[in-house]
Amino acid sequence: KQEVTQIPAALSVPEGENLVLNCSFTDSAIYNLQWFRQDPGKGLTSLLLIQSSQREQTSGRLNASLDKSSGRSTLYIAASQPGDSATYLCAVLSGGSNYKLTFGKGTLLTVNP
């Protein structure tokens, strides 16, 4: 059974700081990994999707890496801004004939002005 863990559960940083969010998963046989952002009471916004054959993806100030063999992914946010404050979730797609998307519980990020 796939399990996804995100560390830390919460993080508070001053504006401008670079930061790293961590995600680990127990079954390395994944199809892809996605990072999402969720604002309070709202739906999810996809940030980055990494296929199992890829090592990293970049979008603006965000960079996500994937080490499938060790079951780890990181989301790097450069020059953080107050507008980056949200919960960040990672999710892995895995499974054989009955694949499914498994989410972590998320990291609550607060960027202070």
Partner 1 sequence: ETGVTQSPTHLIKTRGQQVTLRCSSQSGHNTVSWYQQALGQGPQFIFQYYREEENGRGNFPPRFSGLQFPNYSSELNVNALELDDSALYLCASSQTPLFSGSSTDTQYFGPGTRLTVL
Residues that bind partner 1 (CB under 8 A): 4, 31-32, 34, 36, 41-46, 49, 51, 89, 91, 93, 95, 98-106
Closest separation between CB of residue 106 and partner 1, Å? 6
In angstroms, how far is the first alpha carbon of the chain from the final one?
41
Judged by CB, which is closer to partner 1: 71, or 106?
106
Question: Of the two residues 13 and 44, which places its CB atom closer to partner 1 in the complex?
Answer: 44
For 104: left if phi > 0, alpha if psi spans -120 to 50, otherwise beta; the answer is beta
Q: How far is the CB of 24 from partner 1 (least distance, A)?
A: 14
Q: Which is nearer to partner 1, 13 or 93 (CB)?
A: 93
Three state DSSP letters for 65-112? EEECCCCEEEEEECCCCHHHCEEEEEEEEECCCCCEEEECCCEEEEEE
